Amino acid sequence: MSRDPRPGAGDGPRAPATSPLLDVASLDARYGLLHAVRGVSLALGEGDKLALVGANGAGKTTLLRAIAGAHPASGGSVRFAGADVTALPAHRRVALGIALVPEGRRLFPDMTVLENLLVAGRRARPGPWTVDAVLDAFPLLRPLRDRRAAALSGGEQQATAIARALMTNPRLLLLDEVSLGLAPVAVDAVYASLTRLIATGTTVILVEQDLGRAMRIADRVVCLLEGSIVLDGPAASLTRERVTEAYFGLRSAAAPPVAP
Amino acid sequence: MTWVNAVVQGVLLGAVYALFACGLSLMVGVMRIINLAHGDIAVIGAYLVWVIAERAHVSPFLALIAALPVMLVVGHFLYIALISRSLRGGPLVPLLTTFGLAIVIQNALQQLFSPDVRSLGAAAGAITTASWRVTGALAISWFGILILVVAVLVLGGLELFLRRTGLGRELRATAQDPDAARLVGIDARAVYARATAIAVATAALAGAFLAIRSTFEPASGPTQLLYAFEAVVIGGFGSLWGTLLGGIVLGVAQTLGARIDPQYSILAGHLVFLAVLASPRGRSLAARSTWT
Q: What percent of chain A clears pLDDT 90, i.e. is strictly above it?
A: 58
Nearest by CB to B169, which of A70, A106, A118? A118
Identify the closest residue of chain B to A98 by CA–CA distance.
B183
Q: Give pLDDT, residue A238.
A: 85
Instruction: Check whether A254 has a pLDDT greater than 60.
Output: no
Angle value at C-alpha A66, between A61 and A67, nearest 5 degrees: 100
Q: Is A104 on the interface with B (CB under 8 A)?
A: no
- Look at chain B and count its residues: 292
Query: The domain spanning residue A228 has which CATH number?
Result: 3.40.50.300
A108 touches chain B (CB under 8 A): yes
Identify whether A108 is part of a domain. yes
* Higher per-residue confidence, A248 vs B184: B184
Q: Chain A: residue nearest B170 by CA? A: A119
The domain total for chain B is 1
Domain residues for the domain of A242 are 42-60+95-248
The lowest-confidence range among A135-144, B27-36, B47-56 is B27-36
- What is the rounded CA–CA span in Å between residue B184 and residue A38? 27
Q: What is the pTM of this model?
A: 0.84
B169–chain A nearest CA distance, Å: 6
Contacts by residues A250-258 (CB-CB < 8 Å, ≥ 24 positions apart): A253/A223, A254/A229, A254/A230, A255/A231, A257/A232, A258/A220, A258/A232, A258/A233, A258/A234
Residue A244, domain member (yes or no)? yes
| pLDDT given for residue B36 in this prediction | 95
Output the CA–CA distances (angstroms, integers) from residue B46 to A120, B34, B37, B71, B291, in the order listed. 39, 21, 14, 11, 37
B186 neighbourhood in chain A, CB within 8 Å: 91, 119, 122-123
**Residue A159, domain member (yes or no):** yes
Q: What is the mean pLDDT of chain B?
A: 91
Query: If you average pLDDT over residues A197-211, what whole number do you get?
Result: 87
**A102-126 residue pLDDT tens:** 998 999 999 999 999 999 999 888 8
Question: Quick check: A258 pLDDT over 70?
Answer: no
- pLDDT tens digits for range B22-41: 999 999 877 888 999 999 99
Give how many domains chain A has, as a whole number. Answer: 1
Q: Residue B76 falls within a domain, yes or no?
A: yes
H-assigned helices in B177-239: 178-183, 188-213, 221-235
Cβ pair B183:A110 closer than 8 A: no
Mean pLDDT of the A166-192 span: 90
**pLDDT on residue A259:** 45
Q: Which residue of A has its CA nearest to B169?
A: A119
Give A-chain residues touching B180 at CB under 8 angstroms: 102, 106-108
**B184, closest residue in chain A (CA to CA):** A120
Domain contains B292 = no
Q: Which residues of chain A neighbour B183 with C-beta distances below 8 Å?
A: 68, 70, 90, 94, 99-100, 102, 106, 165
Query: What is the per-residue pLDDT across B124-142, written as a single tens digit (0 to 9) for each?
Result: 888 888 888 888 778 889 9
Give a yes or no: residue B182 inside a domain.
Answer: yes
Give the closest-approach CA distance of A115 to chain B in angstroms. 7
pLDDT of residue A50: 95
Does residue A1 fall inside a structural domain? no
Q: For residue B271, what is the domain's CATH number? A: 1.10.3470
The answer to whether residue A122 is domain-embedded is yes
Span B227-284, pLDDT tens digits: 999 999 998 887 899 999 999 999 999 999 999 888 888 899 999 999 988 887 776 6
Q: What is the pLDDT of residue B284?
A: 62
Tell whether A89 is covered by a domain: no
Average pLDDT for residues A196-206, to the nearest whole number? 87
The predicted pLDDT at position B13 comes to 94
pLDDT number for residue B50: 95
Phi first, then psi: what are they for B253, rounded to 5°? -60, -40
- B288 found inside a domain: no
Q: Domain for residue B202, yes or no?
A: yes
For residue A253, the 8-state DSSP code is -
Cβ(A129)–Cβ(A167) below 8 Å: yes
Q: Which residue does chain B place closest to A168, by CA atoms?
A: B184
Question: Is A108 within 8 Å of B186 when comparing Cβ atoms?
Answer: no
How open is the CA angle B94-B100-B103, to the nearest 5 degrees? 140
User: What pLDDT does A215 receive?
Assistant: 86
Q: B185 — contact with chain A (CB < 8 Å)?
A: yes
Residue A26 lies in a domain: no
Poorest-confidence range of A195-209, B77-91, B99-113?
A195-209
- Kindly report the average pLDDT of chain A as a whole number: 86
| Inter-chain residue contact B179 with A123, CB threshold 8 Å | no
Three-class DSSP category at A28: strand
Candidates A90, A106, A119; nearest CB to B169: A119
- What is the 8-class DSSP label of residue A140? G
For residue B59, what are the domain limits? 2-281
pLDDT of residue A6: 43
Q: What pLDDT score does B28 carry? A: 87
DSSP label of B236: -
Q: Mutation target for A interface from B88, B174, B184: give the one with most A CBs within 10 A.
A: B184
Residue B128 CA to residue B102 CA, distance in Å, equals 29
**Distance, CA of B143 to CA of B145 (rounded, Å):** 5
What's the pLDDT score for residue B254? 94
